[in-house]
Structure 1
Amino acid sequence: MIRYIRRAAAFCLLLLVALLANAARVQVFEADALDNNPANRRTTIARYSQPRGDIVVGDEPVTGSKDTHEQLAYERTYRHGPLYAPVTGYASQTYGTTLLENAEDSVLSGTASVLAPLPLWDDLTRDRQPGGDVVTTVRDAVQRAGYEGLAGRRGAVAALDPATGAVLALVSSPSYDPERLSGTGSSVTGAWAELNGAASQPMLNRAVRQTYPPGSTFKIVTAAAALGTGVVSDPDAATDTPSPYVLPGTSTTLPDEARGCEKASLAEAIRVSCNTVMAHLGVEVGLKDLVRTAEKFGFNEDDLTIPFRVARSNVDTDMSDDQLAQSSIGQFDTTATPLQMAMVAAAVANDGELRRPHLVDRITDHDGDTVRRQGSDSYRRAMEPETARQVQRMMVDVVENGTGTNAAIDGVRVGGKTGTAQHGVGNTGTPYAWFISWAQDPDSGRPAVAVAVVVEDASADRADISGGGSAAPIARAVMEAALAEPG
């Protein structure tokens, strides 16, 4: 009899071990798959059961949460939604998250490990902390200056602190109110269809996700390459460039919109924006060295994040000499985001050192204690300090005596470069107006701000003047705001 009891007990023990093993398999090894199963509503309900952390500009949150008293309780709200949409993105119960709402979702939703009281606490308890806050580097006055300057026109503004890489403004116009997408129901799906169907593409983040031909603003990169490789040793010396210039290997002539470009010096070519000189110098620099210089500024980078992804700015690595000539003046297949061109201006202003652009200053927990801080990191050395100082002098001349006088600020050292980018079939589209610039208060030992502005629907009588007429005044307003509100 005892023998049968022992066998029964052993069998029960075996069943118990099997039960525990299965429970462990489900709770440990299959937990993530079950949590992420679309049929599992518990995770979604838990996600919206508490207020979401906020995205902060300065000392003020630009987001919030409201209790809807429904199953998905808390819904995202936005203060000044269209102004900050290129920074925040949206957090939608229907369509997910984008931009900062996506990149810092674990912090905002309370699942980030840095918010837990102890290491691995949330993994062990399967708990969710109150949402943390994401404090940005954006300055309200600088953001507003760019937004109001565009005034609803299609275009973008990006502004950086050259000394730290902090993003001071990301503006995209026209914009949209992300709160329209926050909840569920027909109003949200209707808003989604309307916004995605709009010809003006208000949900496109033109500052970081749209690339444009940079036009003559790219001549700053070409100038840095010409000086850095020794093709030009004296920027004030005459060149041997004819005007018009016949593109190598073709019978196509490249004209100049500006006067006095024949045999003009590099400095004069930048001041009045001579296409011929810069195209000729680009060919003399050569494909390899021009591409290498552009990549030092951040071109051809696939993995740049701020923390959300920035679209790749492109300079082709395989071109004929005539294509290289066109690329050297920001045409052919050369494209750039406004943020990329702000990085070009920032590198020049910061004596050739390009700091890594970043949008987040720090992460705080629900009690306001800092749990993570973003430092200032070096990204690339774009050029040697002496080269940078030569380019600075030429950009200052553009603003004081050249095509960029509309960006001048009394008592402030300002450098800039205008640009007009042709596009469309046969260049039939309205040219994009560009202006890149930087400003340094004479009382400061470091540059205050670097800016890039692009206006898609600009109009002008001649190339390179539209950048000075349409984009430069916006850049000036952004620089004035940054100088008036120092970090």
Structure 2
Amino acid sequence: MIRYIRRAAALCLLLLVALLVNAARVQLFEADELDANPANRRTTIARYDQPRGNILVGERAVTGNKETGEQLSFERTYLHGPLYAPVTGYASQTYGTTLIEHAEDGILSGTASLLAPLPFWNEFTRGRQPGGNVVTTVKESMQRAAYAGLSGRRGAVAALEPSTGRILALVSTPSYDPERLSGTGAAVTEAWTRLNASKSLPMLNRAIRQTYPPGSAFKIVTAAAALDARVVTDPDAPTDTPSPYVLPNTRTVLPDEARGCGKASLADAIRVSCNTVMAHLGVEVGLAGMVETAGHFGFNDSGLRIPSGVARSNFDTDMSEDQLALSSIGQFNTTATPLQMAMVAAAVANGGDLRYPYLVDRVTTGGGDTVRQQGPRSYARAMSPSTAVQLQRMMVDVVENGTGSNAAIDGVTVGGKTGTAQHGVDNSGLPYAWFISWAQPRDSGRPAVAVAVVVEDAAAERADISGGGSAAPIARAVMEAALEG
């Protein structure tokens, strides 16, 4: 009898060990897979059972939470949602997260290890802390000035602090209210369908996710390449470029809409926006030199994050000379985000030292204790300091005596460059108007702000200066807001 009891006991022990082994296997090796299973509602319920941390502009939260009284207890709310949507993105119980809501989700949801009282505490307990906060670099007055300036037209504004890389404004219009996507149910589904079906693409973040041909605004990059390569040694000396200019190895004639471009100097070509001179200079610099300089400004970088991912701005690395000529005036396959073109202006303003752009100043616990601080860091030496000084002078001339006069601010040194990008079949579409600029108080040794503005549906009597009429006034308003302190 005892023998059978021992056998039964051994069998029970064996079964108990098997259960323990299986439980350990599930917890150690299959937990992540089970958590990610769409049929598992526990993860989703746990995610929304406490308020989400906030995103701040200055000292003010532009996000919040409301109790739903349902299984998913808390739902995201937004203060001035359309104004800050290109910064915050959305946090939806149905459609997930985007932009800062996505990039800093661990902090905002309370799962990030930075918020834990001890190292590996969250991983060990599979728990989470109260949601932390994300403090942005955005300046409210500049954000509002950019948003008001665009007035709902399709376009975008990006503004940087040249000496640090802090993003001071990031606006895309037309915009949308992310709060309409926060919850679940028919109303959220209807809003999602309507927004995605809209021809104006309100959920497209044009400031960092849309690339445009930069047109004549790109001539600043070409000028930097020509000066650094010593293709031009005296910006005020005449060049040997005729107007019109026949593209290399073709019969295609490149005209100028501006007057006085025949054999114009580099300085004059920047001031009145001569296509011929800048196209010829790009060819003289050569493909390798142009690619290298464009790369120093941030073109062809597919890994730029602010912390949200930024679309890659393009300058082709394999072109014929005629294609290189067109690329050097911001046409052909050259494309750029507004943030990229703000980086171009910032590099000039900051003496050639391009700082890495960033949108998050610091992250904190729910109680306000800083757990991560973002500081300035160098992205690249975009050009030599002497080249930057010469380009600063030329960009100031654009505002004081050229196509960018609408950006002038009394008592402030302002440099700028207009640009227009033709597009559509046979260039039949309304041109994209660009203006890039920077502003510096005359009693200060440091530039206050660099701005890039693009307006998609611009129009002007003279196409190559539509940026001066449509985009420059917006840039001026943003710069004035920056200078107000």
TM-score (norm. length: structure 1): 0.98
**Superposed counterparts of 1:460-471, under 5 Å:** 460-471=460-471
Q: How far apart, CA to CA, are the structure 1 residues paired with 2:20 and 2:162?
A: 59
1:69 is aligned to: 69
Where does residue 18 of structure 2 map in the other structure? 18
- Specify the code of the residue in structure 1 equivalent to 2:297: F
Deviation for aligned residue 1:444: 2.1
Rounded Cα–Cα distance in structure 2 between residues aligned with 1:449 and 1:109? 33
Structure 2 residue 121 is the aligned partner of structure 1 residue 121: yes
- Quote the Cα distance in structure 2 between the aligned partners of 1:2 and 1:384: 93
Alpha-carbon distance in 2 for matches of 1:70, 1:103: 27
- Partner residue of 1:46? 46
SS of match in other structure, 2:258: coil
Question: What is the aligned length?
Answer: 485
State whether structure 2 residue 417 is matched by structure 1 residue 381.
Answer: no
Q: Per-residue deviation at 1:21? A: 1.1
What's the CA shift for 1:11?
3.4
Q: Which amino acid aligns with 1:206?
A: R
Residue-by-residue CA offset, 1:277-321 (whole Å, 9 max, x unaligned): 000101000111001100100000111111011001001111111
Letter in 2 for 1:439: A
Letter in 1 for 2:227: L
**Structure 1 match to 2:426:** 426
Map 1:182-331 to 2 at 5 A: 182-331=182-331
Measured in 1, the distance between the counterparts of 2:373 and 2:446 equals 23
Aligned counterparts of 1:446 and 1:50: Cα–Cα separation in 2: 44
C-alpha distance in structure 2 between counterparts of 1:168 and 1:107, whole Å = 22
Equivalent in the alignment of 2:105 = 105
- Residue 31 of structure 2 corresponds to 31
Q: C-alpha displacement at 1:123, in angstroms?
A: 1.5
Report the counterpart of residue 349 of structure 2 in structure 1.
349
Match of 1:481 in 2: 481
> CA-to-partner distance for each residue in 1:38-60, whole Å, 9 max, x for gaps?
00001101111111111100000
Q: Which runs of 5+ in 2 are unaligned?
A: none
Q: Tell me, which stretches of 5 or more residues in structure 1 are unaligned?
A: none
For residues 125 and 381 of structure 1, the distance between their equivalents in structure 2, rounded to whole angstroms, comes to 46
Q: Taking every aligned residue pair, what percent have the same amino acid on both sides? A: 79
Measured after TM superposition, the shift of residue 126 of structure 1 is 1.7
How far has the Cα of 1:7 moved from its partner?
A: 4.2
Q: What's the offset of the Cα at 1:18?
A: 1.7
**Cα offsets for 1:119-178 (capped at 9, x unmatched):** 111112221211110100000001001000001111000000111111101100100111
TM-score, with structure 2 as normaliser: 0.99
Contact 1:345 1:438 in 2 (8 A): yes
Aligned counterparts of 1:254 and 1:417: Cα–Cα separation in 2 = 20
Matching residue's letter, 1:385? P
* Alpha-carbon distance between aligned partners in 1 of 2:89 and 2:463, rounded to the nearest angstrom: 34
Q: Secondary structure at the match of 1:470?
A: helix
Please tell me the root mean square deviation across aligned C-alpha atoms, in Å: 1.0
Runs of 4+ with deviation above 6 angstroms: none
Deviation at 1:443, TM superposition (A): 2.3
Amino acid at match of 2:409: I
The DSSP-based 3-state class of the residue aligned with 2:416 is strand
Letter in 2 for 1:368: G
**Residue 377 of structure 1: CA displacement?**
1.1
Please tell me whether the aligned partners of residues 399 and 405 of structure 1 are also in contact (alpha carbons under 8 angstroms): yes
The residue aligned with 1:81 is 81
Letter in 1 for 2:249: G
- For residue 10 of structure 1, report the CA deviation from its aligned partner: 3.6
